[in-house]
């Protein structure tokens, strides 16, 4: 028995397409461009799954509770420095931002990233 394939009908909108719409001679109104940007943000949120924002102290406690956690960390900010942390536990992605580095248990496998991008952040 063949399985029916489910097609994603959400339009894909890239940054390049948005820039093209805004160029002189573009046929799109600002309202249409804004609607496209919102559609792109919704698509990004769907693709990222469930992300749970927690306090830095709760993140450290959760990392201590997990057997061998994998934590992705990045440092950002220009004037106001901050640290972003991301970890998966029981199918959920846990995220926190801290003005200071978080002290993590030695059992943590730490991956340093250039940047962690979270929708709406």
pLDDT tens-digit readout, 68-109:
899 999 999 989 999 999 999 988 899 999 999 999 989 999
Does residue 11 carry a pLDDT above 80? no
Sequence-distant (≥ 6) Cβ neighbours of residue 56 within 8 angstroms: 85, 96, 97, 98, 100, 102
Q: What is the pTM for the complete model shown?
A: 0.62
Give the pLDDT confidence score for residue 50 in this predicted structure.
78
- Cα(14)–Cα(41) distance, rounded to whole angstroms? 10
Give the pLDDT confidence score for residue 72 in this predicted structure.
95
Kindly state the DSSP code that residue 57 receives in the 8-state scheme.
H
């Amino acid at each position: 028995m063949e399985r029916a394939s489910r097609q994603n009908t959400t339009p894909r909108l890239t940054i390049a397409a948005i820039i093209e719409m805004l160029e002189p001679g573009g046929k799109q109104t600002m309202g249409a461009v804004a609607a496209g940007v919102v559609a792109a943000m919704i698509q990004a949120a769907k693709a990222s799954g469930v992300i749970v924002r927690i306090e830095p102290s709760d993140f450290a406690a959760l990392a201590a509770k997990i057997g061998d956690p994998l934590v992705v960390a990045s440092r950002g900010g220009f004037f106001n420095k901050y640290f972003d942390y991301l970890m998966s536990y029981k199918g959920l992605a846990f995220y926190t931002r801290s003005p200071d580095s978080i002290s993590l248990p030695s059992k943590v496998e730490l991956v340093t990233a250039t940047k962690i991008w979270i929708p709406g952040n």
